[in-house]
Amino acid sequence: MKRRITFAQGADSAFEQDQVQLTKDALKLRGLDAAREERVTFGFNELPSELWIVLKQSHELHIRWASERPFDAIPPFSSRVAPGLHVFFTPVDSQRLTEGLCPLLKKAFSDELKCTLPEISFTTPPLISQRFASVASYQFYSVLPSISELVTYIQQTLCPSSDVECRNTAASLLSADYVDIDYDRISHALSVSAYWAKSPEGKGWTTEVKKSELGSEKIEVGLLSSQPATEPEELSVGGLLAVVGEDDRPQATMFSFPSRHHPLPKAADYAVSFLHPTGLHPTMKIAIPRSSLSAPPAPADATCALHSYLTLPSPIFADKYQLSTTDRLFLESHNLAALRTISGEADLEAPDWVTSRWGSNLLLELATPAETDSAKEDWEVTVPLHLRYLKPSPSGNRTVSVPWPVVFWACTAEEGTKMGVNPFDRVNLGWEGLFGPKTMFYQLSPSPSKDPTSAIQPRLVEQLDVPVLEIKEGLQGIIQARAIEIGTGIVVLLGFLWALWKLALVARPPAKQKDETIKSGKKDK
């Protein structure tokens, strides 16, 4: 097992040399104001059998979980996904069903996941370019507010019962802003990464990293801060590096590397809400301040466009025929440029309880205001959506959770730019694979407004109240549901018989006309 711990400081974060102390077998930190990313890599022989049996059936498996809490994405960790659980999977043998993956996901994350088999419950991402796009064969999503069950799974399957430090480290994932799990058949290793935008207490990191922690073979620790880059497509970082138990003192370092993901100023943000009343055809509104619409600091010859990638659970969907229109008036009324891709559950009429797949994704290119537009209010993009019929409930309504989309600029890079040398690159996010490998991304920060009078923390998930059929619980509810089902069947049958009767009347000539036809025939004779 190997560990890599990276502390990334913002440009305005203070640092003193005495905040770091490296001894023969430990590194001590005191009050360090920084974001933290920790990556642990496991070999096959360190994994439980139920896990490596599933991994042996996988060509690649990537799991992304992001918190519903707003957080700052400090470079070089600038990329984002919609809050919730994302799974990207490619089987070794596409001709055989992968039966072990869904039970493992349910055991590790939640038994309520809408997952039976990847071939049934997962969606197939689109390929914009067969030559350049890099996406997994199958994709899955679920709104998952907490990874408490994952923490329990790690403590019970990966941590020895006597290793208290391992169990505490697993418990620290509860405060993480995002967690990534990656496996590919080439490396034959499983890596788990977690990111914290700040220390859980908010007072800086005061911790001790020991060589024997989690039984690690090698622990690399980096204390880095962003530096001005010489090229627009590069990120530059500098700071201190140390291998715990091997180095006598931290080594100074500075290096630059091409990066697909680049930061924007913290003020470049956006907010998401739904227009009221929502009804069964809710409209999502993405409000972007005019100051956030300034062109990103891409190379001078780059072509940039603003995009939004929506992840929609099965109860809510977008009509691809409506959004793929070329009607300029419709697009301008919503400040949309075009629908670039859509994948997933596309049946527009099916109720939610008969849909087998988790939902759908869509990539929208957003319109931006003209340079001559001097308005000061927020630029508002609206996306018309639709709700499926949901199961009845005793209260007469159900709640649907809709995660905020990600909003980003996508810019072309120079032809000779190499994007493969990046120790912090975060790939397989679902949306970045829809672009060419030399595309650079500049992500806006989601920024929900907080009510100062409310104790409820802002979330990056919107809640929609959906009216449904009201049916009571228990035996009375069963009788009521059965009565409605039988009554509906009777009404449909009567309507069908009435339609047949009317068709028969139309097909049969009137009696008077029939008599005249007979008389006319006799006269002719």
Contact (Cβ atoms closer than 8 angstroms) between residue 261 and residue 426: yes
Quote the CA–CA distance of 174 and 113 in Å, as a whole number: 19
- The owner of tokens 């009845």 is 392
285 and 380: one domain?
yes
Looking at the structure, tell me whether residues 253 and 308 fall in a common domain.
Answer: no
Q: What is the residue range of 16's domain?
A: 1-34+204-258
Q: Is residue 285 located within the same domain as residue 429? A: yes
Tell me the C-alpha distance between 292 and 296, whole Å.
Answer: 9
Question: Is position 130 within any domain?
Answer: no
User: Does 360 reside within a domain?
Assistant: yes
Pair (359, 393) in one structural domain: yes
pLDDT tens column, 13-62: 788 888 888 888 888 999 999 999 999 888 888 888 889 889 999 999 99
Token couple for 378? 């927020």
Q: Which of 429, 451, 467 is the last residue of a domain?
A: 467
Q: What's the domain count of the chain?
A: 3
- Report the alpha-carbon angle 394-398-401, nearest 5: 155
Q: Is there a domain that residue 42 lies in?
A: no
Q: What torsion, rounded to 10 degrees, do the Cα atoms 85, 317, 462, 34 define?
A: 40
Neighbours of 332 (CB within 10 A): 11
**Pairing status of strand 439-443 against strand 445-446:** unpaired
Q: Read off the pLDDT band of 481 (50, 70, 90).
A: low
Query: Looking at the structure, do residues 303 and 353 belong to the same domain, yes or no?
Result: yes
pLDDT at position 214 over 60: no
Task: Please report, rounded to a whole number, the percentage of residues in the chain having pLDDT higher than 90.
Answer: 45
How do residues 188-206 score in pLDDT, each as one tens digit? Answer: 889 999 999 998 887 889 9
291 falls within a domain: yes
Are 321 and 419 part of one and the same domain? yes
Q: Does 350 map to a domain? A: yes
Residues 492 and 510 in one domain: yes
Beta pairing, strands 445-446 & 269-274: parallel
Q: Does the residue 370 lie in any domain? A: yes
Asked if 310 and 364 sit in the same domain, the reply is: yes
Of 339 and 228, more confident: 339
Query: What distance in Å separates the CA atoms of residue 167 and residue 367, rounded to the nearest whole number?
Result: 48
DSSP H stretches of helix in 62-210: 101-108, 118-121, 148-157, 164-171
417 or 166: whose pLDDT is higher? 166
Prediction pTM value: 0.87
Question: Quick one: 208 and 357 in the same domain?
Answer: no
Which residues, including other chains, have CB under 8 Å from residue 465's CB and lie 6 or more apart? 278, 397, 398, 399
The pLDDT value recorded for residue 132 is 44
Point out the domain boundary residue: 213, 238, 258.
258
- Spatial strand order of the sheet with 20-22 comes to 20-22, 26-32, 205-210
- Give per-residue pLDDT as tens, 103-144: 999 999 999 999 999 999 999 988 654 444 467 889 999 999
Which of 204-235 are b and which e, b meaning 16 or more Cβ less than 10 Å from the residue's Cβ? Answer: bbeeebbbebbebeebbbbbbbbeebeebbeb
Asked if residue 450 and residue 302 are part of one domain, the reply reads yes
Residues 136-150: tens digit of each pLDDT:
889 999 999 999 999
Q: How many angstroms separate the CA atoms of 16 and 32, rounded?
A: 9
Task: Verify that 328 and 375 share a domain, yes or no.
Answer: yes
> What DSSP letter does each residue of 229-267 carry, written as one string?
-SSTTEEEEEEEEEETTT-SSPEEEEEEEE-SEE---TT
7 and 25 belong to one structural domain: yes
pLDDT tens-place string over residues 236-294: 899 999 998 888 888 899 888 888 899 898 889 999 999 988 888 999 999 999 988 98
